[in-house]
Structure 1
Amino acid sequence: METRNISRRNFLGKTAATTTLSLGGIGLVKEAFAGQGADKPRREVWIASFSQAGMSAPTPESMTGQILEKLKEVLVYRPDFVCLPEAFPFESVEKRFTLTEMVKISDEIQGQIAAFSRENKCYTVCPLYTSVDGKFYNSAIVFDREGKEAGRYNKIHETEGGINKGVTPGALYQPAIQTEFGPVGVQICFDMRWDDGWKMLKEQGTKIIFWPSAFSGGDLVNTRAWQNHCIVVSSPNKYIARLCGISGETIASTGIWNSNVFCAPVNMEKAFLHTWPYVRRFKEIEKKYGRAVRITNFHEEEFSIIESLSPDIYVKDILEEFDIKTFDEHIGSADQAQKKARL
């Protein structure tokens, strides 16, 4: 019997070939998905994100074309949101441009991304350079499902290098962007090093924060998710893009087997709890709701996640029924009690 040693390189090659063949059947899979929207869980959101790892192009237009081509791989999942990397048309391209030139090119590329959103009925986070009243910004424009601008964010914490080139830091307060999934927000790259922008978005009730970046962030992305009790999506110019749930777990990411793009679902019907004293009610909840509800305890950190797995059950109703406060409500109540006791 012949034994064959399959090298990692050969395996990758075979995998790539199989993937290419599989993509030929996307049209058939799309038909299979058609009409299934009604079966989706009530608050499930599908999120796609992109990494420019290993990519290069001669021009911004060529880079944009490559990205749009690669995004076809995830359209079969009908993503609700697509996030692109920071200033993506100008990264890993051969030609260099002035800030004025980059704004002009960005204006042209906006139209392509708006058309992508409109054609695929998705929100797209599109990081580009913009100009308003003679000032230049490192921005992210969010296009809605119709290809219209739903909102934009200007990077608050610009680097010294960017400032020296003429980029203006964004306002310290910027409104969250409204969607049918609740408010969403954006932070960009260097914003990771400051708490204020993340806090600003959390205080507005933001459910998802998109983080286009030059660097991939690693565990910092997970940390921002559990610190702010919201979904965080990274989209870097290099290395790993990832999707993190409210407890900080990595739900999906790019990597050596899928280096540029992923698309994955997230259940938004969750609440972040301080474990004690509410753990005393968990058995009652499990007894009543069984498989329809999942409770996950982080034993050492002493926080818990309660999640509805049924489209007919809302977590807020469970919390009200069993007199349970969210983590933020619990900490806020304790803070008020402490202030009162100090008087």
Structure 2
Amino acid sequence: MSSRETIMTFLVLCGALSLAPAGAHAEPIGRPVKVSAIAIGFGGEWEAKMKLASEHLEVAGSRQVDIACLPEEFAGLEAEPLTGRTTKAIGALAKKHRMWVVCPIREQAPDGKQFNTAVLLDREGEIAGYYRKVFVFWDEDLHASDEGVKTFDTDFGRIALLTCFDANFDEVWQSAERQGAEIVLWPSAYAGGIPLNGYAMIHNYAIVAVGRGNIIDVMGRDLEEVESPLPQQFIATIDLDTTIVHSDFNGEKVSALLKKHQGEIEEIAELGKFEGWHVLKATAPGVSARAACREFELETLREYRQRSRREINERRVEGKRINLKPQTPDGSPVASEQQTPN
């Protein structure tokens, strides 16, 4: 091979390498999910709002978003079936970009009722499920759903959908937690504010709030690393592997976990200090904080609360004391054995 051919081959190889995206094959750290809150407002003229929504979804798709959420009734107030023109058009974009989309509509149900409905479209653009608003606002002139809160299993985790006025009723947020939701997407016509941060912290799920477009982590904090490629579009990455465990009875186990996984899992020291929590996060590829907790028989905070609620309620009904000691049938602690002096 001549020196000219050698140089040309080298340049071609360098060019090929430069075209490869940085970190294209890198294993992710934790369980990252890229979300987009598209806060383009409630109602409006159908053609104009669909054009605007499509522009936003094209941008979200170009940034490899896993799930994008539009506002409630974003394309106007004309009722249509679940499989109407809005979900068909948005479904085509979901399929094009292999992206989940929450597409809220005013639904005309087969039985004649009308609902404020958030439709979940999968990566193929098909309807994966829907949520009909439970707490309908007074002037909507719609039917209130009797189906309750639903959760949906996606390829990145379990999600729930709640809508606007639902923000005022804690029971629907607790229902999402008890059904195992990891992210709650909240299409809305208003911002919601601090209560949403409270729900995220109390129930330990992330919230994608599409009133003003804030994205909240499991500690109830608005994420700061948020990209805004278009006005009123907000994109961030949530790590669903971040795990919270209570400090009750768990100090030694957490220390042992961190010792074994030094350099792979860290405790976020500035979080959970006053709440009595350990917040654990993977820092290396191929490691899961959630899996490590199972390895060391550590309940997540959510599991601990749910078990405590169940068992304390059972003892209340049975008239038993709440303690860690073995109990007699009447609820009294078992007397400890006394040693006879020699």
**Coarse TM-score class (shorter-chain normalised):** 0.7 to 0.9
268, 276, 283: which one pairs with 2:240?
A: 268
Q: Does 1:150 align with 2:128?
A: yes
Q: Does 1:60 align with 2:38?
A: no
Aligned length: 296
* 1:139–1:333 distance in 2 versus 1, CA, 3 Å: closer
156, 164, 167: which one pairs with 1:189?
A: 164
- Displacement of 1:284: 2.8
* 1:282–1:62 distance in 2 versus 1, CA, 3 Å: same
Give the RMSD, CA atoms, in angstroms. 2.8
306, 321, 332: which one pairs with 1:341?
A: 321
- Displacement of 1:202: 1.4
Q: Does 1:111 align with 2:111?
A: no
For 1:209 and 1:308, the matched residues in 2 are separated by 22
Which residue matches 1:24?
none
Deviations 1:262-320 (A, max 9, x none): 21211111222212332343333322212311212421122232122334223343223
Unmatched tracts of structure 1, length 5 or more: 1-30, 91-96
Which residue matches 1:87?
73
* 1:115–1:33 distance in 2 versus 1, CA, 3 Å: farther
- Displacement of 1:112: 1.1
For 1:304 and 1:258, the matched residues in 2 are separated by 37
- The residue type paired with residue 281 of structure 1 is K
- The residue type paired with residue 264 of structure 1 is A
Deviates more, 1:142-151 or 1:250-259: 250-259
For 1:322 and 1:36, the matched residues in 2 are separated by 33
Deviations 1:47-105 (A, max 9, x none): 1111126x996x22111201221333333320000000111112xxxxxx6xxx43379
Deviations 1:15-42 (A, max 9, x none): xxxxxxxxxxxxxxxx754992663346
- The residue type paired with residue 146 of structure 1 is E
- Displacement of 1:172: 4.6
What are the equivalent positions in structure 2 for 1:94-243 lying under 5 Å apart? 101-103=78-80, 107-132=84-109, 133-162=111-140, 165=141, 167-236=142-211, 240-243=212-215
For 2:193 and 2:210, the matched residues in 1 are separated by 11
Q: Kindly indicate whether the alpha-carbon contact (under 8 Å) linking 1:225 and 1:247 is maintained by their aligned counterparts in 2.
A: yes
Q: Kindly indicate whether the alpha-carbon contact (under 8 Å) linking 2:37 and 2:233 is maintained by their aligned counterparts in 1.
A: yes
TM-score, normalised with respect to structure 1: 0.77
Q: Kindly indicate whether the alpha-carbon contact (under 8 Å) linking 2:115 and 2:145 is maintained by their aligned counterparts in 1.
A: yes
* 1:89–1:34 distance in 2 versus 1, CA, 3 Å: farther
Structure with higher helix content: 1
Q: Kindly indicate whether the alpha-carbon contact (under 8 Å) linking 2:62 and 2:97 is maintained by their aligned counterparts in 1.
A: no
Q: Does 1:44 align with 2:32?
A: yes
Q: Does 1:307 align with 2:281?
A: yes
For 2:189 and 2:32, the matched residues in 1 are separated by 29
**DSSP-derived class of the 2:198 partner:** helix
For 2:201 and 2:257, the matched residues in 1 are separated by 23
For 1:172 and 1:246, the matched residues in 2 are separated by 26
- Displacement of 1:106: 8.7
Q: Kindly indicate whether the alpha-carbon contact (under 8 Å) linking 2:99 and 2:123 is maintained by their aligned counterparts in 1.
A: yes
Q: Kindly indicate whether the alpha-carbon contact (under 8 Å) linking 2:228 and 2:235 is maintained by their aligned counterparts in 1.
A: no
For 2:125 and 2:82, the matched residues in 1 are separated by 18
- Displacement of 1:213: 0.5
Unmatched tracts of structure 2, length 5 or more: 1-18, 323-330, 332-342
For 1:282 and 1:245, the matched residues in 2 are separated by 22
For 2:169 and 2:87, the matched residues in 1 are separated by 28
* 1:52–1:88 distance in 2 versus 1, CA, 3 Å: same
Which residue matches 1:10?
none
Q: Kindly indicate whether the alpha-carbon contact (under 8 Å) linking 1:71 and 1:261 is maintained by their aligned counterparts in 2.
A: no
**DSSP-derived class of the 1:79 partner:** coil
* 1:35–1:305 distance in 2 versus 1, CA, 3 Å: closer
Deviations 1:158-200 (A, max 9, x none): 01111xx2x1111253431121123211000000111222122
56, 62, 80: which one pairs with 1:76?
A: 62
- Displacement of 1:229: 0.9
